[in-house]
């Protein structure tokens, strides 16, 4: 009962936060979608970090470490520390500048202008929304699994999923981007602090020794005894590991990160997030990876494994089971709130961004500027968000894939679009046809690989010993370059807008 | 300095593929697997390299930063 009271109190607090930010709102659609570009460095750091760390970071990393051991940190965490900051540095800062200069609030608006193509939105919109849905699923499934594990089934997974969807919808609707940024900052602090507390509490529960160091040593000693290979990367083939470096590239094209970038007060606001992001990742991932690895071998007072692999339904439940078995009721409630905080701090941005994309890129663009009032725009955004959340929730009730596997597929799709984003910002010779070719090849290769992997059921599916993302990124890059070089370069006016001071490229034909 | 920063970022990417630690199961302080400790150090190194990047290889100048903000404010 106590954990439930704490969880519901925490969820109520988020709704209050949404109400407070609603009172600070300027009432315009720009304020609702971009917080009127007022977000400073600390809030940007917290919201970018909170947005990129979802169920994948806490629930997924613990579950995957349970399966393959400590290699998970190198696969996703240290690589993200390098590559996410690279994306913020190379793409985010430039996008902020162009977004502020030309008034963009979505990726599609930028690509329409840069590529001189009104129709590119019709190709990109379904792809971006289609890739966001599995990303939403990661949060919805992770949240449901955590609540179900902690309440030992009193609240079923679907009930937990529904609960967090409703709470996030309420505070996003009330607070818009400002409320989302505030909630992200608050929730990021909550899950970082409680994540570390969880680690120490579970270490004590497993070790049962006097000092912290003795507990850590005792927990690892059990792994040395039962699964020493989990303390190495024996379960991770080198080429597979290498190709994982491409997965965090996806941060360069996440639509919700694009929207967060545009909320920054100035370009200098990015400096703090770029530097501190790798450290924040380390603070969250190291404890989770150790917990997942310990869970493979940890035994309780009765001498039985804390997590019985024979009865474990999904690796998503590993963290929830550890928390439920090794902490008191109050801590269980708090720690569950921390896990939910990580999940919801991504869901909120994703909900908001799909609403923004629908209104800006479809309704307002094709319906006509000035046709809808600010109030109507916000209502449309909310309607579309609810529709997507319902679809996501329904899929979550039948989805069999683990959080980690689903995340990899979702991130692979976004990573395959990064060559286009980079070329749009740095290569004057990129043409409209080259962009269409790149996006089409990225989509086709993703669909083919997803189908070949039995729709993500085969978690070991690879191409040439590497993750399919390597093939997708290579194919979309080749298509982009080859087609751009044989088609007509963009006009001088467009190049002057996006590359001021640079000479126009010469046409090949 | 700009080139040095990019060289350091490339070195980080190479160091990330630490094949020499692949099956090394030794522990630091009796609990921390060596392969994990190595990547923790790599994360801290990444933060230091990104600090150098924002200090010495920032992609925008202050004028363009201000200009973008001014344009949007009009």
Q: What is the predicted pLDDT for the residue at A405?
A: 77
Burial class (CB in 10 A: 0-12, 13-18, 19+), A253: buried
| Residue A400 CA to its chain's centroid (Å) | 20
**Percent of chain A having pLDDT more than 90?**
47
More confident residue, A468 or A168: A468
Q: What is the predicted pLDDT for the residue at A175?
A: 73
pLDDT at A227 over 90: yes
pLDDT at A297 over 90: yes
Q: How far is CA A255 from CA A267, A389, A438, B26, in A?
A: 19, 16, 18, 42
- A213/B31 touch (CB, cutoff 8 Å), yes or no: yes
Interface test with chain A among B16, B25, B43, by most A beta carbons within 10 Å: B43
Instruction: Compute the mean pLDDT over every residue in chain A, rounded to the nearest whole number.
Output: 88
- B40/A282 touch (CB, cutoff 8 Å), yes or no: yes
Beta bridge partners of B33: B27
Q: How confident is the model at residue A399 (pLDDT cuts 50, 70, 90)?
A: low
The pTM (predicted TM-score) of the whole model is 0.90
Q: What is the predicted pLDDT for the residue at A29?
A: 64
- A267/B65 touch (CB, cutoff 8 Å), yes or no: yes
> Distance (Å) from the C-alpha of residue A79 to the closest C-alpha of chain B?
7
Q: What is the predicted pLDDT for the residue at A32?
A: 65
pLDDT at A170 over 90: no
Q: What is the predicted pLDDT for the residue at A25?
A: 65
Residues of A within 8 A of B29 (CB-CB) are 213, 216-217
A499 contacts: CB under 8 Å, gap ≥ 6:
A428
Which pairing describes strands B32-33 and B27-28: parallel, antiparallel, or unpaired? antiparallel
This model of the complex carries an ipTM of 0.90
Of B25, B29, B47, Cβ closest to residue A213? B29
Q: How confident is the model at residue A508 (pLDDT cuts 50, 70, 90)?
A: very low
Q: What is the predicted pLDDT for the residue at A80?
A: 96
A327 contacts: CB under 8 Å, gap ≥ 6:
A198, A201, A202, A205, A335
Burial B14-27 (b: 16+ CB within 10 A, else e): ebbebeebbeebeb
Mean pLDDT of A198-215: 92
pLDDT at A100 over 50: yes
Q: What is the predicted pLDDT for the residue at A469?
A: 96
**Percent of chain A having pLDDT more than 70?**
94
pLDDT at B66 over 70: no
Q: How confident is the model at residue B73 (pLDDT cuts 50, 70, 90)?
A: very low
* Structure token digits, residue A273: 């997030």
Mean pLDDT of A212-219: 95
User: Is-contact A157 A4, C-beta < 8 A?
Assistant: no
| Residue A147 CA to its chain's centroid (Å) | 20
> Distance (Å) from the C-alpha of residue A24 to the closest C-alpha of chain B?
20
Q: What is the predicted pLDDT for the residue at B68?
A: 53
> Distance (Å) from the C-alpha of residue B56 to the closest C-alpha of chain A?
12
Which of A129-138, A145-154, A264-273 is predicted most confidently? A264-273
């Amino acid at each position: 009962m106590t954990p439930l009271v704490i969880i519901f109190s925490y969820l109520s607090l988020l709704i209050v936060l949404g109400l407070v930010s609603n009172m600070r709102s300027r009432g315009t659609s720009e304020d609702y979608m971009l917080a009127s570009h007022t977000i400073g460095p600390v809030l940007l750091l917290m919201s970018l970090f909170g947005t990129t760390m979802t169920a994948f970071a806490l629930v997924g990393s613990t579950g995957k470490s349970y399966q393959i051991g400590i290699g998970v940190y190198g696969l996703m965490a240290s690589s993200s520390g390098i590559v996410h900051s690279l994306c913020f540095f190379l793409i985010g800062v430039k996008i902020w500048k162009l977004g502020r200069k030309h008034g963009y609030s979505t990726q599609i608006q930028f690509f329409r202008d840069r590529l001189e193509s009104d129709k590119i939105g019709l190709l990109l919109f379904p792809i971006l929304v289609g890739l966001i849905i599995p990303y939403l699923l990661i949060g919805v499934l992770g949240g449901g699994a955590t609540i179900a594990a902690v309440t030992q089934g009193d609240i079923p997974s679907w009930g937990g999923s529904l609960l967090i969807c409703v709470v996030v919808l309420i505070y996003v609707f009330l607070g818009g981007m400002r409320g989302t940024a505030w909630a992200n900052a608050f929730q990021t602090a909550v899950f970082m602090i409680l994540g570390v507390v969880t680690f120490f509490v579970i270490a004590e529960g497993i070790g049962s020794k006097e000092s912290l160091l003795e507990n850590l040593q005792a927990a690892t000693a059990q792994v040395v005894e039962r699964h020493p290979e989990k303390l190495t990367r024996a379960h991770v083939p080198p080429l597979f590991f290498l190709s994982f470096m491409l997965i965090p590239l996806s941060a360069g094209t996440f639509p919700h990160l694009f929207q967060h970038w545009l909320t920054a007060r100035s370009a200098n606001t990015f400096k703090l997030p770029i530097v501190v992001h790798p450290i924040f990742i380390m603070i969250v991932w190291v404890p989770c990876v150790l917990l997942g690895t310990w869970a493979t071998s940890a035994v309780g007072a009765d001498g039985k494994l804390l997590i019985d692999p024979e009865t474990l339904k999904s690796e998503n439940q590993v963290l929830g089971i550890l928390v439920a078995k090794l902490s008191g009721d109050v801590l269980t409630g708090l720690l569950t709130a921390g896990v939910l905080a990580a999940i919801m701090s991504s869901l909120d941005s994703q909900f908001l961004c799909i609403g923004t994309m629908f209104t800006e890129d479809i309704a307002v663009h094709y319906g006509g500027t000035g046709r809808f009032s600010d109030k109507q725009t916000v209502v449309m955004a909310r309607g579309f968000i609810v529709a997507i959340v319902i679809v996501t929730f329904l899929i979550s009730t039948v989805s069999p894939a683990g959080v980690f596997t689903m995340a990899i597929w979702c991130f692979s799709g976004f990573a395959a679009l990064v060559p286009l984003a980079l070329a749009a910002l740095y290569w004057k010779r990129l043409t409209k046809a080259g962009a269409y070719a790149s996006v089409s090849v990225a989509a086709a290769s993703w669909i083919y690989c997803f189908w070949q992997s039995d729709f993500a059921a085969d978690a070991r599916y690879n191409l040439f010993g590497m993750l399919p993302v390597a093939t997708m990124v290579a194919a979309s890059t080749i298509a982009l370059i080859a087609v751009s070089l044989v088609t007509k370069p963009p006009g001088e006016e467009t190049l002057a807008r996006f590359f001021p001071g640079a000479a126009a490229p010469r046409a090949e034909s | 300095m700009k080139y040095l920063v990019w060289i350091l970022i490339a070195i980080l990417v190479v160091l990330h593929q630490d094949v020499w630690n692949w099956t090394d199961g030794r522990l630091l302080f009796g609990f921390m697997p060596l392969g994990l400790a190595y990547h923790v150090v790599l994360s801290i190194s990444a933060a230091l390299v990104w600090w150098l990047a924002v200090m010495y290889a920032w992609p925008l100048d202050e004028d363009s930063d201000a200009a973008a903000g001014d344009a949007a404010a009009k």
